Chain A
Amino acid sequence: MNSEAIVKETRAYHCLECGVCTSSCPVARVRPSFSPRLLVEKALFGFGDEIVRDRDLWSCLVCGRCTSRCPSNVDYLNFIKEMRIEASKLGEKGLFSHDGILNTIMELQSLSLRQKRTSWITDDLEVADEGEWFYFVGCLPYFDLVFGEGGYCDVGLKPTERARNTVRILNKMGIKPVVSNDERCCGHDLLWNGDLEGFRRLAELNLKTIEKSGAKKVICLCPEGYVTLKRDYPSYLGEQDIEVVQLYQLLADKLKEGKLNFVENGSDNPVKVTFHDPCSLGRIAEIYEEPREILSGIPGIELVEMERNRADALCCGTSGWVNCSSCSKQIQTERLKEAEATGADILLVACPKCGIHLSCAKYNSDIKIEIKDITDLIVEKMA
């Protein structure tokens, strides 16, 4: 798509130049040189070539705060995505974090290698090769090696514990999910970094794997994986005969049905927690209440909201493993301070990547608040 077509497609020519996007943008708040409004204007005035060469094209977090507030319904997120696709055709790319290891890991998964990505499965977990439900694990097994203990960039996490948690919870619900070594990265980051071809390859391989398992329902913990499978696979590869479900949707239903129960809490002092809405789960997928319903069902837990929550939530500061910078750190620090200001003991996250980014910002800092994944809490309290 050339820049004119992108402007049309994303309704950018409706832009009122009101500046709501820029003033909503967490990046622009830290780095005034970055202005979503000016990027759109540049495109309107036909300077598309400049945008695709601009280092700031990769600074956008695709958090969607601008899109959700734009009075003219400019589809800013797709504007960025299409511009990046154009830019990568010219060989442009963002500055990769971790020397680009994560990006290469994603790309390598589009080759037909025999991965050993299910080695996180312990004996107590029940999984299957074929069945009704496919648990889409995502990149957790790789995150273990990068961010887990002994990993390159140890931030004090054990990412695959989230996967084990998910299976534990599903087992409790009576579901024995399919978990496959042939699963690939969902392709979210490749797509949003402009590598459309790479994304397609991964998506096709994943659809084939799911089909082979016979599953008709796919369950995702990772919000990015969820929106990618639910929204992007159909839009790029056509309608699929599968139902994509986010874990918290399923659990909220089960809670209502009385099939998810928690142990009674002995002590009177409730634990105060606060909750960080991930961009993809919140603004993109509009799943705001389900995690909160689950939390309110857990005895002994008191949820206190941060100043900015739900559609107003701040992003965790990095996306797609590009252009992570001092700006990201400032956004993250701001978010963590906001969490601390609630007086909560625990900051709950619902996205493995949010957990990683926020924990990374805690490293060598004086921020104390504990960061936990919601699934940790559920498994702890599940009856």
Chain B
Amino acid sequence: MTPFAELLDGLVYTPSRNGKLRLMGRYFTTVPDPDRGWGLAALTGGLSLASAKPAMLRALAAERTDPVLFALSYDYVGDLAETCALIWPGDGPRQAPRLSEVVDALGLAARDRVPELLAGWLDGMTAGERWALLKLVTGGLRVGVSARLAKTALAEAFDTPLDEIEEVWHGLKPPYGRLFDWLDGRESKPDVSGLPTFRPFMLAHPLEDDVRLDLGAYQVEWKWDGIRVQLASVGGERRLYSRSGDDISATFPDVVEAAAFEGVLDGELLVRAPDGAPAPFNALQQRLNRKTVGRKMLDQHPAFVCAYDILFDGGEDLRALPLSSRRDRLEDFVARTGSERLTLSELVSVDEWEHLARLRAGTRALGIEGLMLKRRDSAYLGGRSKGPWYKWKRDPLTADVVLMYAQRGHGKRSSYYSDYTFGAWRDESLVPVGKAYFGFTDEELRELDRWVRNHTTNRFGPVREVDKDLVLEVAFDSIHPSPRHKSGVAMRFPRIKRIRWDKPAREADRLEALERMIPAQASIA
């Protein structure tokens, strides 16, 4: 437990990605099996020890502390696990159990034995160890680490490509003994054929503005505005994976149920509008945000996969074939197994670049994100190898908005006001419409920081309110209705495009202008 507690402590306080990677790397290379595997499982969300409910912690603490003092402490600290960890007398002889002992014992213990077990451990622990244990048993570490980042740390620490780890990941189980045997070089790579594991996606590069490709060599498709997924059905088991390799099957049971085939497909996950056409992204967003999904949601926002590519047909690995052959196999596959839950991505036939540019210019009106260009002779290679595939996204929307608040950044940027909240006019006042923290150069950051400091009207902790005088041109991918925001709108991927030192604030955009950019229920004819 001690090294794991130290790791969590370090992760909580280390703002930089590199710092977090280094901490995790040190943990994975120095802590023995099976503890490091359980630690990895805890970080990647694969360890559900959720054996203690908040009421149980309260009851445990109540036996050892005065209820008024506990309530005042909880009020001050604000986090139940931390309050218990800090207030616990902890006066037993120092003897923290190993992480694996905790996992094993909790796995075997009857529910009513859990409080006694926990209390025994807590007595022999430091405050930091108690915090780690209580976070673990109540679920939700919240130390700013995604599963992807933990796997990246593993890849870097053992000098192994991340894609190879992703590929075997879903075929392995905590405490990941086979994984570490392979990474340590004691065993060969685990064989996951016959399992519906995640296969690394082949990724596309943005097409530079002035590049003209030889269209004859490329297959052109629409870039749909959903999320990229992999639908795997192997040996009767089915999984839906997001681009980061997360298993999102539980959120989309409608898609998973309909995958009555043997194979692995790459496609776009979309939901249908009432007219049957793909709905705008925020309709999909409604479903992405939940872990499980109710009947009503399934009916209102039915999901489907628009298939781009095929990786496996039955047990046959097609990834080494050229795209043109895979396309033939895909068309055949969807013809055999397709449904309203599984459709084929249509090809766009163009022979002139100008024609393509005109199609791209029309994508926003169609609710499409842009175009994909893929070399017909390309094998399916995981990762982002430059060359074979390009994405040519639609131009972003832009608006002129007024800077309202600035907040200190993190890590290297902590001495700068680098996170900006901006607003648009509604009647005579500004309403916040978004937040951006990139898009500017280092020099512009220094200028903005100086401007914020010289135009502060109010301070709230790390946030400064500023004179409503500076206009920013922001670019964003799209804008959607959002009842959660005061302005009623939310931007996707906003970034600062230009600082309009020249433009008077009263000439910035009005909220109505932004509302007009919201897509109508997309209809694609």
Co-assembled chains A and B: no
Q: Which residues of B contact A (CB under 8 A)?
A: none
Q: Which residues of A contact B (CB under 8 A)?
A: none
